[in-house]
Amino acid sequence: MTRPMPALPVLTVQGGWIREFVNAPGPCVALGLVEEYGQSYACLALRPPEVIPPEVTAGGFSFGHAVLGTATYEVVQFSFHFYGFATYHVLVNPNNPIVQAVLANMVGSGDYFFFALSPEGSVTAFRSDIEQDLLTGLTDNQPRIERSTTTAAQYRSALAQFAEEPVPSGVLLDWVCSDGICYLDLTSDRVTLTPTS
């Protein structure tokens, strides 16, 4: 992922999802879906602890992902490295139906959106310009993700271990909006995000 979207189209998200995300204690990350021209895409939304300066967002960021765990459980790590500024991480439980649906969409389409919401409420939107091979790790692990039986206790344990020493070094953010499967329904409670430039 390299650059903010030059001309942002009208995007639609699920209202309950965006409201919970905006009102959740930050800093945090949420996974969901966004609609563009009638097509649904995976969406990762980030509320960092500080304002990311426009000159930093103009340079884009590096998106990383990994499947961590043991032979008995796994968690998915996402990392967002804003060049010369900060790295943010989130760990999600792949045994969660929202995570499974969002990752299946991401792997299936090879495309996704990313929103960075500043503490003062401005939003920077990015659209992936990735090549499919950059999703190889998720694609290769998709069968394991789909079969995941990671429990809440195993997820909390992995989260605690990662928090002690994030790799790469960075800020671990809370995962929010994880319980509302209705948030994947873009046919009701639709909220339109209209570009301002």
> Could you tell me if residue 102 is inside a domain?
yes
Query: Which among 45, 26, 154 has a CA at the least distance from the CA of 94?
Result: 154
- Asked if 97 contacts 180 with a C-beta cutoff of 8 angstroms, the reply is no
State the pTM of this model: 0.89
Exposure of 17 by Cβ count < 10 A (0-12 exposed, 13-18 middle, 19+ buried)? buried
pLDDT at 130: 52
pLDDT digit string, tens, across residues 3-51? 454 555 789 999 999 999 999 998 999 999 999 999 999 999 999 999 8
pLDDT at 163: 95
3-state helix, strand, coil in the chain (%, to 5): 30, 35, 35
The rounded mean pLDDT for the chain is 88
> Could you tell me if residue 197 is inside a domain?
no
Is 90 exceeded by the pLDDT of residue 171? yes
> Could you tell me if residue 4 is inside a domain?
no
> Could you tell me if residue 152 is inside a domain?
yes
> Could you tell me if residue 195 is inside a domain?
no
> Could you tell me if residue 120 is inside a domain?
yes
Query: Which among 189, 186, 16, 175 has a CA at the least distance from the CA of 96?
Result: 175
Three-state DSSP state, 31: strand
| Residue 73 to residues 81, 126, 144, 154, 155, Cα–Cα distance (Å) | 26, 31, 10, 7, 8
Instruction: Round to whole Å and give the CA distance between 37 and 60.
Output: 24
- Would you put residue 35 in left (φ > 0), alpha (ψ -120 to 50) or beta? beta
> Could you tell me if residue 88 is inside a domain?
yes
> Could you tell me if residue 165 is inside a domain?
yes
Total number of domains in the chain: 1
Query: Which among 39, 43, 37 has a CA at the least distance from the CA of 63?
Result: 43
Residues of the domain holding 59: 11-189
